Structure 1
Amino acid sequence: MQLSVIILNYNVRYFLEQCVLSVQNALETIDGEIIVVDNNSSDDSCAMMKQRFPNVKLIENKQNSGFPKGNNIGVAIAKGEYICILNPDTVVAEDTFTKVLAFAKQQTELGIVGCKLIDGTGNFLPESKRGVPTPWVAFTKITGLYKAFPKSILFNKYYAQYLDENETGKVDILVGAFMVMKRDLYLEVGGFDENCFMYSDDIDLSYTVLQKGKSNYYFHETSAIHYKGESTVKDGTYMKRFREAMHFFYQKHFHVSFLFDVFMRLGAFFFALIKKNQAKQIHLSIDEYVLYSSDENLKNKVEKQLQKKLHWVTNIDENTLFSHLNSKGKQIEILLDNNSFSFKKIIAFLEKNRSQSREFGITFKIIPQNTSFMIGSNSSNDRGEIIKID
């Protein structure tokens, strides 16, 4: 078997459904498998999986064992030569795995491969590629110096800004939302360190792989949506675990002074506090909707459900997204029908029009294939929103 895709889920039933659907489509031409590990969700994630995806391997943990252990449990039963660690709040294109595996097989001393990640409005997520957060690199991140001097080698290592988002190349650290590597290597390095509950686990695994003399790669030729934050509420527990995670990584890999350790703890606290304030769900009052779909029945159903003005467009034309709209002073949301358009086309659509969406404040939602809901988020800090379609 070529590839095992491991998806660790916790209380994100609708995002999980969309994710598994996209992965299923992406594995059509690959000898692969999907393994969903559920960390004792209180929603109906497991019931949904059994009903809609009965052929997918489902592991139901009786407790929330954390990100590292949950993924290790999935990898333990995987049969693929390669594994992909994938967040449930992601959407991959139909050719994502084909492209990534072809690239991976060309490399010698392969470590981990990551791809370009975008948020729900098409904006590039800089954590798609990062540098080792040494004390100095972490300092430039916490103080914002990486923003002030983005072209300086001295300051731009946290997000590996020496490498353009549209350029494939070696990087040190990849994000745990999407990681492809050989299963044997994952097992050789011990997988994710279960002493770390979450938040520095991907940094630790990436760094451990580097210590083995392997090379990690950021691969820009395929993009995936990562809505972010869906599995984690940014509360006091989050801040506590964030501080513990950073402390864990430094204690394991670096010898730092007591003074710097105190600084990092304070920095991690304020960084987490900012994230908490940013993570409030953005509720917008939508004035008009635009439905991209070839299905007139869906158009009538959505129009009835939303009871707002609805523009109906039957074809995606990436170059004329807003040409027919007068969006001045209006909040407009674009609805993309996955029954009519592939995930690859939808992802390309979001990327192509990200600048216009920022300019006009336009938001997006996807209606996944054969579902009765629309799903999306309005920023990388937004928890996301699901609207049922009766």
Structure 2
Amino acid sequence: MKLSVVILNYNVRYFLELCLKSVEDAVANIDAEIIVIDNNSSDDSCSMVKQLFPFVKLIENRENSGFSKGNNIAVAEAKGEYLCILNPDTVVAEDTFTKLLNFSKSKTNLGIVGCQLIDGRGRFLPESKRNIPTPKVSLKKVLGKTNDYYANDIGIGSIRKVDILVGAFMWLKKEVYTAVSGFDESYFMYGEDIELSYKVLKAGYHNYYFGETTVIHFKGESTLKDATYAKRFYGAMQIFYKKHFKQNILFNIVVWFGIKLAQFLNKMPQKVEIASKRTIVYTNGIEESLEVQLPKPVHFKTTIQNKAEHHSMVIYDFNILKISDIICDMKAMSKQENIVFRFLPKSSKFILGSDSATNRGEVLHF
């Protein structure tokens, strides 16, 4: 088998459905398997997978074992030569895996490959490519100076070696994952992607940023930026520093200060509310029960226009549109003022989207 797509899920049932439908299309011409490992979700994620995706291998944990342990359990069951570690709140393009397979064949000592990630409003996510977060670099990031933290010298659409990649999308050979013992289970959530990237580098492999394919990552679902996130993230950074950097009193003070400052700055995340004054729906037709819930007026189109008026809600019907075309349209409009995007998955009775990393996404049923 060529590829195992591993998705760790926790209480994001509707985003998981959209993700799985995109992955299903992306592996259509690849000898691949899809593995979902659920960390004891309280929603109906597991029953949804069983009903809609009977071909998916579902592993149901009886406890929330965390990101690292959950993925390690799933990878132990994987049969693919390559792995794609994928968040459930992502959408992959139809040709994402094909492009990465072709790229991987051309490289020796291949470590982890990451791709271009955008958020639910089409904006590039700088964590797609990062440098090693030394204590100095991390403290500067807390203070708002991110040039050394993110690999900004690498062009968004380019292909280059990079140090650190993000756990929302990681592509690598299973033999490499196994050689470095996978994710470090000292990390419950956050920081494990930095640790794995660093371990792979130290083992002599080359990590790459592959900017020629783009994946949507609805950040507010799995990485809500609140005080709890700050505490967990900088707690994970403490683990990383203790493992890899020489410590002294000054070092410990800097790390402690960074954690406290980050918790304070993230204590009360602001809710993002964008009032839409009109709706553009790319579809052949929608049900009246959905139309009555949308901002008026509602305009129907079948061909993507790459433009919209300010304060518009744009809805993409996956029943008639290619994901790659949707992603291109989102990126083209990402700099316009107050444009939000919603997605209608194939054969589904809901639309969803996420406008901010500080808020949960919106799911609208009809």
Give distance in 2, aligned partners of 1:353 and 1:232: 24
Which residue does the alignment assign to 2:189?
Answer: 198
Change (3 A) 1:234 1:222: closer
TM-score between the two structures when normalised by the length of structure 1:
0.90
- Establish whether residue 349 from structure 1 lines up as the match of residue 337 from structure 2: no
Question: Is 1:70 matched up with 2:70?
Answer: yes
How far is 1:65 from its partner? 0.2
**2:316 aligned residue:** 336
1:231 matched to 2:257: no
Distance 1:82 1:54 in 2: 22
Map of 1:150 onto structure 2 = none
User: What is the TM-score normalised by the length of structure 2?
Assistant: 0.96
Q: Is the aligned partner of 1:41 residue 2:21?
A: no
Indicate the residue corresponding to 2:246 in structure 1.
255
The aligned counterpart of 1:383 is 360
Does the 8 Å CA contact 2:281/2:314 hold for their aligned counterparts?
Answer: yes
Q: Match for residue 112 of structure 1?
A: 112
Work out the CA distance in 1 between the residues paired with 2:344 and 2:159: 31
Partner of residue 185 from structure 1, selected from 176, 185, 200: 176
Paired residues of 2:197 and 2:207 also in contact (CA < 8 A): yes
Could you tell me how far 1:314 is from its partner in structure 2?
Answer: 1.6
Aligned length: 366
Matching of residues 284-323 of structure 1 within 5 Å = 284-293=274-283, 295-296=284-285, 298=286, 300-306=288-294, 308-318=296-306, 321-322=307-308
* Pairing of 1:241-252 with structure 2 (within 5 A): 241-252=232-243
Kindly provide the CA deviation profile for residues 257-284 of structure 1, in whole angstroms up to 9, marking residues without a partner as x: 2222222222133224434533x54344
Structure 2 equivalent of residue 54 of structure 1: 54
Identical counterparts, % of pairs: 52
User: Is 2:274–2:338's contact at 8 Å kept on the other side of the alignment?
Assistant: no
Q: What's the RMSD between the two structures over aligned residues?
A: 1.6
Structure 2 unaligned spans of 5+:
none
Report whether the alignment pairs 1:369 with 2:346.
Answer: yes
SS of 1:158 mapped into structure 2: coil
**Is 1:3 the equivalent of 2:3?**
yes
Shift of the 273–22 alpha-carbon distance from structure 1 to 2, 3 Å rule, reads: farther
Distance 2:190 2:179 in 1: 22
What does residue 231 of structure 2 align with?
240
What is the CA-CA distance between 1:307 and the residue it aligns to?
Answer: 6.7
Equivalent-residue separation in structure 2 for 1:232 and 1:169 (angstroms):
26
Is the partner of 2:220 in helix, strand or coil? coil
Describe the SS at the equivalent of 1:387.
strand
Asked whether the equivalents of residues 281 and 384 of structure 1 are also in contact (C-alpha less than 8 Å), the reply is no
